[in-house]
């Protein structure tokens, strides 16, 4: 046996449970809920962060795992939102049905859009899906008899779960739990054989194809899962807001969602969540610079990419590894 | 030797790119437990033939039969029918560990249909890790002499990357293993590991197609050798006969040999500029 160098020892096997992320995520979520308290404004901020987080988590699967940048996510979130609105205004069905229908419709649409754009990649894929997002907004405005036009759908019934109508605060807690669970399950998906195949598809699609997995089909599956997650985000936001308009989910959300994993760290889905929280804080809640929040965010992204190329979580992990290494060294050196 | 079952047959395999014929009317047979060597200078069509067999590129003409069944469609379908391959330029996920790269070969068969792809995604979220996979991966790694499974594939030497590719292909438990230049960049240990794999696959009664520049090395490992020259089969038969054949001399040294070129084989430079235009 050869003597292993210390760098090899540091690169330990990645734990496949994803529990570490869940514990840290749950602690952070608890701290945020404590910080919010009964403050209505802060509750709105959290709901925005939740929606952003779910859109960014949705994009995580096709974009960061499979490597195809689809920008139609404003449409997928919008479908989730309009499913809530339409179930409430056009049917007598329980509101919770929207939670199922929205993600399914979004997933089907993602597959159709994925089939149409299957020959595109990189910039052209991004451009075409971006156009689709814009066309979807135009459709929402024009199809007035269905979508209520530019005024959207308002006065929606509240969510009712088996006779229990959650208060806005409870709705927020449920949403935060959904975000944590989604990030946790996506993290485990990433580590599973399925995730390994999807991540290999990004760098070495020929190898995946040659091993027996049809790459274009797996790409569609990744897109569908991502779209469904984004639709859940759109639905949650609409349940809480009680209304939905074509302007609720715009392309701005998509651009922000692209940067969120970069800010938080693209190595794990939790990075998308951390990025969403930071993005909402900087764009919506930064006291001094109300209108220049987006500018501040862009600046923040630049700084983070220079200082911590693996995002905030990657940076924290590096610090922890260093600290751990120095703690272990002490007894030998002393 | 008793006649073994024919595993893989190629008939009239042809590949044209526009007016350029890369491969012209190639016939071959691979029997169970046989190792077929594929040699020839750069641009002779070796990798093109591997691509046509594996389905990485569609053939212009010709057909393939694997155990009597027509082999068609995309590479993934052919892989599930029993083909596995490595690449001339290793195709690994460089940001993933060696272990995860090896896992692909074994896990791929569980993701064959769209339905399986969906179900496995959610099953993976519930149960990301199967100990049976670990055991199988360890077995393959031991067989090939791969150590340090937690290293990132991007940190490996080229020789180690090739070894991992061979391990990934073995994980598919293929009927026919296509090795495209597995020895380039390998050290003696890597060569021995791959040679051992070839013997193991052979013993299981499966077939191997081995592509390499190093004619001597290939000849020492194979039962039969096929010499390609400008997309055509120049020789197909016993490896020792091939080394001594006039075709070999012509392909690697040009038709008129002078004494200076000696007996050396291997990566000899081509005598003339390729002109394969039809």
Tell me, yes or no, if the pTM score tops 0.90: no
pLDDT of residue B194: 85
The pLDDT tens digits for B110-119 are: 999 999 999 9
**Chunked mean pLDDT (size 10), chain A, 334 residues:** 37 65 89 85 89 94 88 93 91 87 95 90 88 92 87 84 84 92 95 95 94 94 95 92 89 86 87 90 67 72 81 84 80 48
Pick from A13, A211, A217: CB nearest B104: A211
Strands B35-39 vs B207-211: parallel, antiparallel or unpaired: parallel
- List the structure tokens of B75: 């590479």
User: Phi and psi for A262 in degrees, rounded to 5?
Assistant: -70, -40
What SS3 state is found at B105? Answer: helix
For residues B253-262, one letter each, b for 16 or more C-beta atoms within 10 angstroms of the residue's C-beta and e for the rest, the string is beeeeeeeee
Burial B139-177 (b: 16+ CB within 10 A, else e): ebbeebebebbebbbeebeebbbbbbbbbbbbbbbbbbb
Q: How many CB atoms lie within 10 A of CB A101?
A: 18
Q: What ipTM score was computed for the predicted complex, to two decimals?
A: 0.86
Full strand arrangement of the beta sheet holding B61-66 = B20-31, B6-17, B61-66, B69-70
Question: Would the CB atoms of B128 and A192 count as touching at under 8 Å?
Answer: yes
Residue B260, pLDDT > 50, answer no
Nearest CB among B114, B124, B150 relative to A192 is that of: B124
Q: Which residue of B has its CA nearest to A193?
A: B107
CA B27 to chain centre: 17
CA B225 to mean position of chain CA atoms: 14
What percentage of chain B carries pLDDT values higher than 70?
90
β-pairing, B176-180 with B207-211?
Answer: parallel
Give A-chain residues touching B111 at CB under 8 angstroms. Answer: 193-194, 197, 212-213, 218
Task: Write phi, then psi, for B15 (nearest 5 degrees).
Answer: -135, 125
pLDDT of residue A5: 36
Q: In angstroms, what separates the C-alpha of A68 from chain B's closest C-alpha?
A: 16
Residue A208 · residue A197 · CB < 8 Å = yes
Half-sphere exposure of B233 (CA within 13 A, CB side): 18
- Kindly indicate the confidence band of residue B191, based on its pLDDT and cuts at 50, 70 and 90: confident
Q: How many CB atoms lie within 10 A of CB A66?
A: 24
């Amino acid at each position: 046996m050869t003597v292993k160098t210390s760098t090899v020892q540091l690169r330990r096997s990645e734990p496949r449970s994803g529990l570490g992320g869940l514990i840290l995520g749950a602690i952070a979520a608890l701290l945020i809920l404590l910080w919010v308290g009964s403050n209505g404004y802060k509750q709105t901020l959290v709901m925005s962060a939740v929606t952003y987080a779910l859109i960014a988590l949705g994009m995580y699967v096709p974009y960061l795992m499979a490597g195809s940048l689809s920008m139609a996510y404003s449409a997928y979130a919008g479908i989730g939102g309009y499913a809530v609105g339409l179930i409430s205004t056009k049917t007598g069905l329980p509101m919770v049905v929207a939670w199922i229908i929205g993600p399914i419709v979004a997933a089907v649409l993602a597959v159709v859009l994925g089939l149409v754009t299957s020959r595109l990649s990189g910039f052209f894929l991004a451009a075409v899906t971006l156009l689709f997002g814009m066309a979807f907004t135009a459709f929402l405005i024009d199809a007035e008899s269905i979508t209520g036009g530019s005024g959207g759908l308002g006065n929606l019934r509240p969510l009712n779960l088996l006779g229990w109508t959650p208060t806005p605060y409870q709705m927020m807690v449920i949403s935060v739990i959904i975000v944590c669970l989604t990030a946790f399950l996506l993290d485990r998906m990433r580590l599973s054989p399925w995730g390994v195949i999807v991540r290999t598809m990004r760098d070495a699609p020929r190898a995946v194809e040659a091993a027996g997995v049809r790459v274009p089909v797996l790409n569609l599956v990744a897109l569908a899962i991502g779209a469904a997650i984004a639709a859940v985000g759109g639905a949650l936001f609409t349940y809480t807001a009680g209304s939905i308009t074509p302007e609720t989910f715009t392309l701005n959300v998509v651009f922000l969602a692209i940067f969120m994993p970069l800010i938080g760290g693209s190595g794990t889905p939790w990075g998308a969540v951390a990025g969403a929280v930071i993005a909402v804080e900087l764009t919506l809640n930064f006291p001094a610079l109300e209108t220049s929040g987006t500018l501040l965010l862009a600046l923040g992204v630049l700084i983070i990419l220079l200082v911590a190329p693996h995002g905030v979580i990657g940076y924290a992990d590096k610090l922890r590894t260093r600290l751990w290494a120095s703690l272990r060294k002490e007894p030998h050196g002393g | 030797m008793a006649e073994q079952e024919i595993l893989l047959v190629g008939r009239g395999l042809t590949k044209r790119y526009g007016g350029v014929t890369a491969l012209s009317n190639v016939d071959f047979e691979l029997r169970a437990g046989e190792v077929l060597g594929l040699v020839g200078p750069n641009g002779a069509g070796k990798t093109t033939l591997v691509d046509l067999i594996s389905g990485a590129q569609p053939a212009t003409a010709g057909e393939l039969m694997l155990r009597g069944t027509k082999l068609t469609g995309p590479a993934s379908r052919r892989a599930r029918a029993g083909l596995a391959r490595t690449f001339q330029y290793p195709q690994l996920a460089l940001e993933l560990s060696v272990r995860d790269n090896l896992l692909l070969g074994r896990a791929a068969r569980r993701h064959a249909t769209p339905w399986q792809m969906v179900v496995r995604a959610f099953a993976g979220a519930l149960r990301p890790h199967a100990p049976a996979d670990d055991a199988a991966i360890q077995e393959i790694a031991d067989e090939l002499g791969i150590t340090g499974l937690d290293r990132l594939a991007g940190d490996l030497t080229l020789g180690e990357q090739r070894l991992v590719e061979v391990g990934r292909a073995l994980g598919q438990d293929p009927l026919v293993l296509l090795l495209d230049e597995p020895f380039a960049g390998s050290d003696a240990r890597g060569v021995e590991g791959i040679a051992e794999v070839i013997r193991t696959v052979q013993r299981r009664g499966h077939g191997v197609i081995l592509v390499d520049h190093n004619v001597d090395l290939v000849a020492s490992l194979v039962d039969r050798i096929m010499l390609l020259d400008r997309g055509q089969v120049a020789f197909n038969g016993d490896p020792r006969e091939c080394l001594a054949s006039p075709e070999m001399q012509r392909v690697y040294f040009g038709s008129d040999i002078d004494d200076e070129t000696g007996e050396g084989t291997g990566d000899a430079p081509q005598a003339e500029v390729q002109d394969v235009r039809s």
